[in-house]
């Protein structure tokens, strides 16, 4: 199945070739969890802070479950600081 993956700020460097504006469409298995998707791309999980699936926050315990469906959008941001 295909999903849209968005990785922002410092995580964007882990997107596969063909990504444009921090967004890429990728193939994932129906059994993949959001964590599986990031591991496949070698994204350091400790750098993935805010996780949204179709615009809704994913609690840490949901990130290891196969909650992704065909056509979903997974967006992830690193921790950020500002002032």
* Tens digits of residue pLDDT in 57-71: 999 999 999 999 999
CATH of the domain at 9: 3.10.20.30
In terms of Cβ atoms closer than 10 Å to its own Cβ (0-12, 13-18, 19+), residue 76 is buried
Residue pair 41/16 in contact by the 8 Å Cβ criterion: yes
- Structural domain includes residue 23: yes
- Structural domain includes residue 37: yes
- Structural domain includes residue 38: yes
In terms of Cβ atoms closer than 10 Å to its own Cβ (0-12, 13-18, 19+), residue 20 is exposed
pLDDT band at residue 83 under the 50/70/90 scheme: low
Question: Is the per-residue pLDDT at 82 higher than 80?
Answer: no
Query: Rounded to two decimals, what is the model's pTM?
Result: 0.93
- Structural domain includes residue 64: yes
pLDDT of residue 80: 79
Structural domain including 73 reads 2-77
What is the total count of domains within the chain?
Answer: 1
Q: Average pLDDT of 24-39?
A: 97
- Structural domain includes residue 82: no
- Structural domain includes residue 83: no
């Amino acid at each position: 199945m295909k999903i849209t993956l968005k990785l922002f700020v410092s995580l964007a460097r882990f997107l596969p070739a063909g990504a444009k504006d921090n967004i890429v469409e990728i193939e994932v298995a129906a059994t993949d969890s959001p964590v599986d998707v990031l591991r496949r791309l070698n994204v350091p999980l400790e750098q993935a802070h805010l996780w949204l699936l179709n615009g809704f926050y994913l609690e840490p315990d949901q990130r290891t479950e196969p909650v992704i469906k065909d056509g979903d959008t997974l967006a992830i941001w690193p921790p950020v600081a500002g002032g």
